[in-house]
Each structure stands twice: as structure tokens, then as C-alpha cells.
Amino acid sequence: MQKLDIHTVVKQLDSAITEMKIPYLSKPHIKCDPFRTLIACILSLRTKDKATYEASEQLFAQADTPDPMLKLGAEKIAELIYPVGFYNQKSKQIIGICKTLLEKYDGKVPGEIDELLKFKGVGRKTANLVVTEAFNKPGICVDVHVHRISNRLGYIKTKTPDETEFALRKKLPKKYWINFNRLLVTYGQNLCYPVSPRCSQCKISSICKKIGVKTSR
């Protein structure tokens, strides 16, 4: 097996995903708007990308800024975002976020991780995604795909997504931070599955240690 080179990995993945379906949260009309990015990321938690897309588009058609969103109310928001996971809980989180934005941030989403973490329901994954996608600032958003693939490659050895974020912050060249989530999420959704990944079609199969892979295609 060839030695793992992260520069080669990033280059190959960047080339491979050009023909793949990109995640909803990386689509231009979402990532160019901090509020949409934040709300869509809340909706995406424990929810498949297709459901996130449908729920987000349905919600944003009714309101896509804090004040109109707040006026919809939690019950209406829950109706619009169904069937995303925990839709009732998420509708209340969205109401709380909108209130905080209007009361403390003049209705504008902050572009700093520490500020975003002050919002109820916003964790490190969401905060990192907002600063990288919406503000183009350095951050490492770690979801299940980034956590799984980074460890599967043998690039790092961690047990939780939070551990993965800080391990990558130490090891991954900073020039790759912003796009790392988009690359690995796209690859994870289309090819490098949790169970039985399509290793025979993978451009980096020869340098991947395939840690944890029991069967592949």
C-alpha cells in the first residue's frame, strides 16, 4: 500500500466529486446566506440530505430572515419542516435562534465560532459549518462522514467527532480546512458509505488503510 499523502487525497477527492451530487448545505443559494446556512444546518442534524433539502426549501419559501421566521411561530415551522428528525424540537430551536439574533445581533448571524456556540442548539459542527460555508473563514466542520472517512483513511485515530475536529486542526494543512467538509461529505454520501463502501470505484483506494471496513464493493 502506498503511503497516505493528504495532498493527494484532497486533489483526488476534489476531482472525483465534480461528477457527484453535492450536499444541500453546499449549494450556492444556501452557503451565500449565513441565516439560511444556520437554519438549514439545524434541520440537517440526524436527517438525510433529501429531507433537509425539501424541508429547508419549503420553510425558506415562507420566510428566510429572522423577523418573518419568528412571526411564523413554532407550530407553523414544525408543519413546514416535517418530516425532518425532531421537527418539533427544531422548530422551537429556530424560534429561539431568531429571537436571539434580533435581540442581540441586530438580526445578523455572527461569523465567529465562539459567538455561534452561545445559541441554544448550536454545537461545534453547526458553528464550524456556518463560518466556513457562509463566511469563508477557517474552520473544520466534522459530521459523521468527515469523522468516519478521516479515520478510515488512517489519517487520524479518534473516537468522537469533537476529537476529530481538534485532531484535524492540528494535522490538516489550514488551506484545506474550509473545503474538507464538502469533499468528505460529498464522497461519503455518494461512494464511501458507512457499510460496504464502493472501494473498487474509489480513486484513493490504493492509499486508504480501510480501517473498520469489513466488506466493500
Residues identified as active-site = 125, 143
Residue 45, SS3 per DSSP: coil
Neighbours of 214 (CB within 10 A): 7
Asked if residue 23 lies in contact with residue 185, where contact means CB atoms within 8 angstroms, the answer is yes
Using alpha carbons only, what angle is made at residue 49 by residues 43 and 53, rounded to the nearest 5 degrees? 65
Rounded CA separation 77/108 (Å): 20
Distances (CA, A) of 57 to 21, 79, 96: 17, 13, 20
Q: How far is CA 145 from CA 62, 90, 132, in A?
A: 31, 22, 17
Instruction: Determine the Cα angle at 107 with ends 105 and 110, to 5°.
Output: 50
CA dihedral sign of residues 115, 118, 122, 125: positive
Rounded to 10 degrees, the C-alpha dihedral 29/34/36/40 comes to 110
